[in-house]
Amino acid sequence: EAQVTQNPRYLITVTGKKLTVTCSQNMNHEYMSWYRQDPGLGLRQIYYSMNVEVTDKGDVPEGYKVSRKEKRNFPLILESPSPNQTSLYFCASTSGGQPQHFGDGTRLSIL
Amino acid sequence: KQEVTQIPAALSVPEGENLVLNCSFTDSAIYNLQWFRQDPGKGLTSLLLIQSSQREQTSGRLNASLDKSSGRSTLYIAASQPGDSATYLCAVGGSARQLTFGSGTQLTVLP
């Protein structure tokens, strides 16, 4: 089954404690990206990757890092999380002109 | 910068009605346009993808149209059912595959 898998699905943590949200896709897609969804602000892109070792900033990249060492994986790293990064996060992937596939989301709460 | 607007923000209809959801965007230089459905606390499910060269796409009771010159897309839902209740999101795809989302239309179909 074609899917985008995110882990963890839920996480409560504290300010400053480094965390990583993993994203993996099994569709051999070149393009992967991260979004955050906030009430009243909608979905906004954080980072994207056009292929292995190629990443670029989206609209709201501050406080986040990404890496793309393998085609299937695109982890989102919060080096020093802060409360304003409390949000619902989605990973997505696509290839060519195909529809973008989204993961089920990761709900992060940073206290 | 691309801006996407969805009207109405919320819509409540009785079961069986045909309905139209509207999406407008400011920059006509788009790569594609995708309609998603999001259920509360869940991820995004792709409904329809329209490439920039296409005028419409159909899937079952759903029909989406695209008019690039006027910066508009509509999602038509025929014979609505309570199971159609969800938030519907319009997303415009740029040349770098980034999606710019509207704020969504929350649809409630009453039995």
Partner residue facing A33 (CB), from B42, B45, B98:
B98
Residues of A in contact with B34 (CB under 8 A): 99-100
Distances in Å between the alpha carbon of B13 and those of B19, B82, B105?
A: 8, 9, 13
pLDDT tens-digit readout, A63-111: 999 999 999 999 999 999 999 999 999 999 999 878 899 999 999 999 9
- Other beta carbons within 10 angstroms of residue B60's beta carbon come to 8
Report the candidate in B23, B39, B83, B75 with the shortest Cα–Cα distance to residue A102.
B39
pLDDT tens-digit readout, B24-82: 999 999 999 999 999 988 889 999 999 999 999 999 999 999 999 999 999 999 999 99
- Residue A34: its H or E element: strand A31-38
Partner residue facing A103 (CB), from B36, B43, B51:
B43
Cβ-contact B100, B3 below 8 angstroms? yes
Distances in Å between the alpha carbon of B68 and those of A51, B34, B63, B99?
A: 29, 13, 16, 16
Q: Do B46 and A56 touch (CB under 8 A)?
A: no
Q: Do A31 and B103 touch (CB under 8 A)?
A: no
